[in-house]
Every structure is written in structure tokens, then in C-alpha cells.
Structure 1
Amino acid sequence: MSRVSASSLPSTPTTSTPLTTPDVSPFKPKPTPATTTVGGTDEFQTKMDTSAAPISALMPAYQLPAAELALDFISSALAARLAMFVLGQVLYFKDQIPYPMNQLAKVALRDAHKGVSNKTTKQRLKMLDAFAVLASQLHSTFDALTVAVANNQRTNGSSQQAHLVFALGSTLANGRARVIFALDGIGVSSTHDENTNRRPKQCDEQQRHRVPLARVDARNSAGMPSIPGRSLELDVDSDEPINLNDEDTSCWDVPPDSDSDEESDPELEDASDNEAPRSIQPTQHQAEQEAAFSTAERRLALVINNADLFYQALPATTTHVLLRAPRCFKHPEWAPQQRFQRTFDKVLDEAKEGVRVVCAAPARSASLSGSATPGMNQGRSATHAAHPIEVEDEEQHEMIWWLWNGRLTGFEELVASG
């Protein structure tokens, strides 16, 4: 048998092929494991032995592949957006949905226009509804978490990290898969703090006079098309990811009914003409923010694709969403699950499956503790601050697991629609 020399073989091009994100085609791409570098840093690190290291001493999420963002901190809006992106990838790659989430919404929209109604369409809508509700609630969730973490940092110097776990299984105890999503560097900007502190006190009294700006479809917040007849009214002021000036968002008052409303005031008309260009600023801000969010999603998709993450097909089951937060964390859609504390602490210690997002320039503690953070006590006296922390306060800052009140039910598309 003649041997072929290596020099006679065609050379393999060294240029990298463009990334095809998983939500472009309904067919799953073949995984291509490779080592990737994001932001000039090798993201794959040697697995560390954490069997003897407690959570408080070693953050186990550092074992996970990471997407590095050139940011000082991760805002609540970005954290919510990336969390929903990762959840969509987990549901798709683990066969809980037959198509990527964007395409699933388009199929449901097509069936709604055609009037198709069967078991499969109902399962689609159930999944889309749960996904949209979670997307609409995560922004306020991370806002509350940021406040809790900021309070923790003032008292015991805890890190600015957030951990979500997507637990797939009929129950929390019977987990078929548990995927970690870690965020390193959550925080708020000083501008956000100043705008919050300058909010007029009259706004609290005028909340009952608020004008609903629009009926927002929750699917639009997750990047999905709306489905006729199934819109969800959201609280625009609390869940809107765009941080506008306090003059634009603090108060939306209903003018009193009077005869003077019918008469036009020349001075007011001149003022409105002068302020017309201000309406362009929110649109520009929104476009810039959307571009930044899309860039972060692409970097995260690159890491997920190259690290061969989440490629473990599972039978259709329920997906539970858990959040690790201090006991002082408060949100109406999350309930503490202390009886599963050891279970999910172990999941975090082992870090078998998941992904993380880190900041190229980690947020300094002063960004949270040095400036006024919403919800924090600013009137604490020096004598009170000098006193040791009471036991009740220490318990309030203990990190525990919280379970989202909703759930996402996976399904298999056995009936061809249309």
C-alpha cells in the first residue's frame, strides 16, 4: 500500500467560518467543539477541584465558559435580555421546543392567522405565554436583585454576582438537567441613581392618575412577533429597558377636564415646539441600546456554539427557573426555596453545565456602595452604622435560592400544523 505524503494533501484554510446562530434554522447545527477567545482572553480554563471549597470562599461559576463584555457593569435590562437568550437556547438544544423561540413565535402567528387550533398549537401558545411573562418580569427582578446585592456589599462585602439555574425536570428534586447562567458585575449606573433620587415626591401621589402609554405585547420584549388576541399589558414604567430622564418617565398625569383645555396657549405652543427635538433622543438611545444588546447576544452565542453547550436531548418536561439572591430580596413573582438550598448549592459548586457573562472592567464597589442606590437607607446615622450588625440582619443577607412562580412546559411537535 502506497502512503500519501502530508505535502500532497490539500491545505485547510485557516480563516474562521462565520457563526451561524442556533435560531436561524429549525434544524439543529452539528456541534463543532473549539476553543474560542472573546475579548483577547482564553475563556476555557482548567477545571478546578471545588469538592472542599465552600461557596463563600470560591465562586464555582468561574469554571464555566465565559463571554466577556467591554462594560463596567451589567445593567438590569441587559441581564434580563441575556438570561432570556440563554433560556431560549437551553429549551431548544434540549428538545423542549421544536424550533428556536423566534421561529416558534412565527409559526404560532401563522397558525393564528389561518385559524389552526389543535393540541400542538395550544402547547406552543402555553410555552410562548410563559416565556413572555418571564421576559416581562426579569427586568424588575434584576432591579430588586441589584438593590439586595448592593445592601449585601455594604454589610458583608459580598460579590456583585448573580446566578440563575434552569432546572429541567418534573420536580425540583427530580432534575434531568440543571443549567447555570452566571453574571459577574451586575450593578447600576450613577446616572440611574441620581435620576431615581431626583424623582419628585408628587409622583407617588399621582400614580392613580397615570396614563397608560400603550398595550405592550410581552413577546416583543423577548424579540418575538405578537400574536393577535393574546397580548399582555405590561407596566411600561417598571419593565421598560430604556433608562430615560426622570422628566420623561417620572410622571404621566391626566390633565384635569376644564374649558381652558380647549383654548391654546401661545407660550405653551412655543415651548412644545422648542422641545420637539427631545422626542428623538429616546429613539436614538433605544437604537444604541438594542445594538449593544445584540452584540452581547452574538458574543454569548459564539461561546455557547464553540463550547458545545446544552447539546443533551431530553424528553419533554417542565423547566423551573431559580435565582440565587439574599434573603432580603423581595419580588412578588419569586418564592424562597430553602429546603432545596443544599441541592442547588451543590449544583453551583459542581458547575457541570452552564455559561457565564463577565465584564472586561469589573464594576468597582464604589459604583454600588459609594452612590445612592434605589431602595437603600440613606438616612442612617454614623452612630447607628458603627454598631455591629444584628443577627436578624445577618440572616436577611444570607444567600438562598428563589423559585419563579411560573413554569415552562416542553412539548414535542407530533402534528404538522398548517
Structure 2
Amino acid sequence: MPFITPLAPPPGPLHDLSNHAAQETTIANNLTKTEINTETNDFAPKIPRVCLDLDTIPDMMAAKLATSLLGHILFLKNQIPFPVLQLSRLPGGKSNSRAAKLKRDLIESFDTLSSHLDTTFTALSTAFARCSPSDAVPSKTGDAKQRSGNQAYMAILVGPSIGTAKSKVIFAVDGLETKIWGVRDDLPRKADVQGEESDDSDLEESDDEEDLEQTHEDFDDDDGDSRSEPEDSGSEDDSDADSISSRSTSPILQSPTVSRPSTSITHTSSAQDHAREQQKIRAADQLLSRTLAMADAEGRGMACELAPTQTHVLLRAPRRFSHPAWVPRPNFTNSMEHTLSDFLEETRLLVDVSTEDKPRNRRSQKQKVEGVWVAAKVLSLNTPPTQLSRITGEQQSKPEQGQDEADEMIWWSWDGKMVGFSSW
């Protein structure tokens, strides 16, 4: 018998072939995207970044994040044996011992600085708002408008003095809300009011002259009428007296009291707004802590074993900045501007996370500058236009041509003292 071989199955319909080809193309694209994402995830910014889903960063949120970062730095730099929140729970030995005194002094200094930071960023926001709008940017319509946010920088230096700091940490806030606190938003600006008054001054003077002439004419007419009718004045006076006496004897009707529910509604809405703001602040604080933890796990952390020493806190602000807890330090402006310039260069660098835990040679010619970059929605990473170029101290101390001296950026230091400790 002849051997019969089975025939191959008929090809599928054309639409199945097209779907199969499309599936293979999709799988290939997905693999390519996966490989690209894997390669991209191996790289991370050298300076940890915290992106907040906000148009501008309020002053209270910036103060809370600055306080939280300061607590992390004290613990990561071995200035305290436990996190700040756990220091008060440590079992106290002898109350008059040196360790107990150091712990008590540091807790008091940290609480004082925390309360000062709550108002520091408010005063800084006001100082930025009062500065001349030199950083106005053109809008899509072509009109110039002032930036709604500004860049604020706070430095945490760990070392015996500001000039001999062993560790430098920069806290950058990109998008700090600029607002003159204590002034209502619905009130017109002083410049606008003066402009309107100057424009309408001529019209008001002409109107006043016309009113004065009309008043003189009316007075002359009334005088003539009173002279022509002297007899009717007596009867009118009697009728007016009778009406006044009848009004005085009639009982006075009291207006009914009307309840005002709008007051309670206003209090309720303000309480709800405050609760939402506090919730946003807590979420931002948790995001900062999580970002620092991830950076430390990937080898980009700021942990360092330093001997207990002093911690100095500095702030970059205009000369018009006013706060009783901060002292201007223009003599440190040159060195701090160079430190800030190094930090801004570090923010643009990406590092390979897979090789960060390997030993590497540190640069000896330039000290490592660490920090955190906190931004609102979109990371701009724009350097401030003034005083960040590599220039001499004499040129750097002079403000730009046409710039108000009160708008010049200098560095301020907190007037308190914070000393770390290790024994407890």
C-alpha cells in the first residue's frame, strides 16, 4: 500500500497573521522599553530631589522640611546617638551629669531653632516679595510678570566654626511662595493707587470747582426764598416741634436680633483649610524622609561618622531680610557662594546606583557638598542670576548696576548654639 503523508494545515486567515505580527512587534517594543527603563533606573541624581505636587511651596511647609532635615543631619552626622524625637525618651541618669546637661542643651536649642524657622521662611518670603522684580519673565501673551516662587537656600555646617566646617549640607527650596505677609490680597497696591490718583487729579479739581459754583447759586436762591416767605416760617416751626414731641413720646421699636451663621461657616472653613494644610505638610515630611532613606540605601546618603562638635545654620537672604534670630554675615558670603555654586553643579549630575556602594577615590581638592533639592511640581534647577559666578570677593560684594542695595543677597547665621553629644 502506498504511504500517505498528512498535508500541512491550511494557513490561518489574513487578520490572524496581521495580529500575530502586531503581537511580536508589541513584545519587541516592550522588551526594548524594559531594557531602557532598567538602564535609566540605574542612574539617579547625585543630590536627592523631592518633587511636590504644588504650584508654590508655602512658608510653613518649607520651615517644617528644614526642621526635619536638620534633625536627620544631626543623627546622620553622629551628633546625637538617637533621632531627635527619641532624645527626650532616653532614660535620664544623674541630672547634674555632663551628658545630661549636653542632652538638655541640645534639645532646648533644637526646639528654639524650630520655632525660629517657623517665622524665618515667612520673613524670607516677605523679603523676596519686597525686592524689585528684576527676575520677571515674559508670559505667553508677551507681558512681563513676576515669578510666583523664588529659590531659598539654607546651609547646615557641622564643624568647630563656619570657616572650618567638616560637613556642608545645603537645603534648597525651588519655588518658595513670595508674599507680603500681613497685607490683604484684595487691597490695591500703593503704586497703582498713586497712579490712579495722579490720573484723576485734574478731573477731580474741575468737578470741585463746578460743585462750588453750584453751591453758591443754590445758597442765593434759598436766601431769596426765605426773605419772601417770612410769615410761613412760624407755622412750619410749630408743626416741626409737634412732630418732634410726638416722636419722643412714641415707644422706640427695637430691631430684631438676626443670627449670623456666616461666622460659624467661616470658622469651619478656616479650620478645614488648616487641616488640609497640615495634611499636606505631613505628606511632604514623609516624602522627604523616604527620599533620604532611599538615597542612603543606594549609596547616595549623607551618613558620616564625625566627632561631636558644633552645628551652624546659615540662610541666604536679601539685605532687607529682617528677623531677630538671624545675624548678617557678609564676610562669609564669598565662601558660601562658592559652596552653593558647587552644590548647584552637583544637582545636575547623575550617578550609577549600581556602583555607588563600591569604594572610590574622593576628590581631595574640593570638599564634598551634600544636600537636598525640594521643588514645586517642575524641577527648574536654575541658578540664581547674581553672585554665583567665579569672581573675586571685591567684585562679588558689589551689587549689580541698577540693583537696589537692599536686594543684594548675603548670608545670615542663626545666633543660637547647638553642640552635639555621644554619651547618654
What range is the shorter-chain TM-score in? 0.5 to 0.7
Structure 1 residue corresponding to 2:125, chosen from 146, 152, 155: 146
What TM-score comes out, normalization by structure 2 length?
0.55
User: Could you list the runs of 5+ residues in structure 2 that have no partner in the other structure?
Assistant: 1-37, 137-146, 189-254, 344-368, 381-398
Aligned to 1:122: 101
In the alignment, is residue 99 of structure 1 matched against residue 116 of structure 2?
no
Residue 183 of structure 1 corresponds to: 173
SS in 1 for 2:86: helix
2-structure distance, mates of 1:304, 1:312? 14
Structure 1 position 396 matched with structure 2 position 406: yes
Q: Please report the TM-score for the alignment, with normalisation by the length of structure 1.
A: 0.56
Partner residue, 2:287: 299
Q: Distance in 1 between matches of 2:256 and 2:43?
A: 60
Distance 2:98 2:84 in 1: 18
Between the two proteins, the alignment pairs up a number of residues equal to: 264
Residue equivalent to 1:360: 377
1:360 partner amino acid: K
Shift of 1:189: 6.7
CA offset at residue 182 of structure 1? 0.3
Query: Which structure 2 residues correspond to residues 137-216 of structure 1 after superposition, within 5 A?
Result: 137-152=116-131, 154-157=133-136, 160-188=150-178, 194=184
Residue type at the aligned position of 2:370: E
Structure 2 residue identity aligned to 1:92: F
Cα distance, 1:282–1:121 mapped onto 2, change above 3 Å: farther
Q: 1:226-259 deviations in whole A, cap 9, x for unaligned?
A: xxxxxxxxxxxxxxxxxxxxxxxxxxxxxxxxxx
Question: 1:106-153: per-residue Cα shift (whole Å, max 9, x none)?
Answer: 33xx64xx9955322221221111111111111221122112222335
Preserved contact between residue 67 and residue 299 of structure 1 (Cα < 8 Å): yes
Q: Is 2:80–2:421's contact at 8 Å kept on the other side of the alignment?
A: yes
Whole-angstrom CA distance in 2 between matches of 1:300 and 1:395: 35
Deviations 1:166-194 (A, max 9, x none): 01111111111110100000014799853
How far apart are the structure 1 equivalents of 2:62 and 2:319? 20
Report how far residue 335 of structure 1 moved: 1.2
Equivalent residue, structure 2, for 1:288: 276
Hey, what's the Cα distance between the residues in 2 that align with 1:195 and 1:151?
A: 14
Contact 1:36/1:306 (<8 A) preserved: no
Greater helix share, 1 or 2? 2
Report the Cα offset of residue 353 of structure 1.
Answer: 0.6
Mapping of residues 3-402 of structure 1, within 5 Å: 44-45=44-45, 64-107=47-90, 111=92, 116-152=95-131, 154-157=133-136, 160-188=150-178, 194=184, 271=259, 275-276=263-264, 278-308=266-296, 309-351=301-343, 352-361=369-378, 393-402=403-412
Structure 1 residue 282 displacement after superposition = 4.2
Distance verdict in 2 for CA 1:145–1:272, change over 3 Å = same
Q: Given that residues 35 and 307 in structure 1 are in contact (C-alpha distance below 8 angstroms), is that contact kept between their aligned partners in structure 2?
A: no
Judged with a 3 Å threshold, the aligned counterparts in structure 2 of structure 1 residues 156 and 294 are, in CA distance, closer, same or farther, namely: closer
Amino acid at match of 2:377: A
Of 300-309 and 178-187, the range deviating more from structure 2: 300-309
Residues 36 and 303 in structure 1, CA contact (< 8 A), matched pair in contact too:
no
SS in 1 for 2:168: strand
Q: Distance in 2 between matches of 1:404 and 1:329?
A: 13
* Cα drift, residue 84 of structure 1: 0.2
Give the counterpart letter for 1:396 in structure 2. Answer: A
| Letter in structure 2 aligned against 1:353 | E
Unaligned runs of 5+ in 1: 1-33, 46-62, 199-265, 364-388
How has the CA–CA distance of structure 1 residues 341 and 359 changed in structure 2, closer, same or farther, with 3 Å as cutoff? same
- With over 3 angstroms needed to count, the CA separation of the structure-2 counterparts of 1:343 and 1:35, relative to structure 1, is farther
- 1:154–1:119 CA distance, 2 compared to 1 (3 A): same
Percent identical: 30
- Letter of the aligned partner of 1:143 in structure 2? T
| Equivalent of residue 409 in structure 1, options 382, 397, 419 | 419
> Structure 2 CA distance, aligned partners of 1:411 and 1:36?
41
1:249-279 deviations in whole A, cap 9, x for unaligned? xxxxxxxxxxxxxxxxx988x7488744554
Q: Structure 1 pair 171/286, CA: closer, same or farther in 2 (3 Å)?
A: same
1:190-234 Cα deviation digits (max 9, x unpaired): 998535959xxxxxxxxxxxxxxxxxxxxxxxxxxxxxxxxxxxx
Q: Distance between the aligned counterparts of 2:64 and 2:40, measured in 1?
A: 23
Q: Deviations over 1:282-333 (max 9, x none)?
A: 4433332222111111211122112222211110000010001112212121
Residues 355-406 of structure 1: CA distance to partner in whole angstroms, max 9, x if unpaired? 110010579xxxxxxxxxxxxxxxxxxxxxxxxx996853221211111111
